Amino acid sequence: MEHRVQPAPRSSQLRTQRCLLRPSGPSDAVWIASAVGDARYPADDPWSVVDSVEDARDRLEVQSKCWGERTAFHFTIELLGAPPHAGQVSLSREPEPNTWLLGYWLVPDVWGSGIATECATATVHLAFTELGAHSLWAGVTPHNHRSLRVLSKLGFEYRNSNPAGYTVDGKPIPTDEYELIRERAT
């Protein structure tokens, strides 16, 4: 089987109406540790186990390495106004050809503002136009109604429930999985 090198985004930055999306890196550790340490941040999110700037920096170094290997592209969401940092949005390559996983999280202060939909829309466009994606997947905990609305607005369709969608502190977190196929993307 021939190994094909995955494309990288032509630009390392994306702009939306209200945001700049740029590669996440270790320099984001301080604000990310603060954001995921907020009492309102969901305890069932993989970032919730980060309890120090050093933990955040370690995770961000892994994300930077993934960017270089073209296996995942993690963008920091910067608002084009104050406060500057709003969260992250990412695309991670899946084992199936031309399939990527969409992920995103926001700092609690911007929940409900439409930022997730705006940034996820730009990232979906990148996946289909520059990365050659034919299918995007996203997993969400069934009680995360805001995230479910984002996926619905983007045209994702429910595919299945996964009792072990991801793990937090060694515990499986059930997720519902959604898919967006290129031909159906709006």
pLDDT digits (tens, 9 = 90+) for 148-172: 999 999 999 999 999 999 999 999 9
Q: What integer is the mean pLDDT of 41-65?
A: 96
CB within 8 Å of 137: residues ≥ 6 apart = 94, 99, 100, 101, 102, 159, 177, 178, 179
> Residue 73's pLDDT is what?
97
Classify 157 as helix, strand or coil: strand
Q: According to CATH, what is the number of the domain 14-184? A: 3.40.630.30
Residue 8 pLDDT > 80, yes or no?
no
Q: What integer is the mean pLDDT of 16-21?
A: 96
> Residue 103's pLDDT is what?
97
Higher pLDDT, 19 or 2: 19
Query: Taking the CB of residue 137, how many other CB atoms lie within 10 A of it?
Result: 18
pLDDT digits (tens, 9 = 90+) for 107-132: 999 999 999 999 999 999 999 999 99
pLDDT digits (tens, 9 = 90+) for 81-90: 877 999 999 9
What residues does 1 pair with on adjacent strands? none
Domain ranges across the chain: 14-184
Q: What integer is the mean pLDDT of 23-32?
A: 96
- Indicate the pTM of the whole model: 0.92
CA distance linking residue 89 with residue 61, whole number of Å: 16
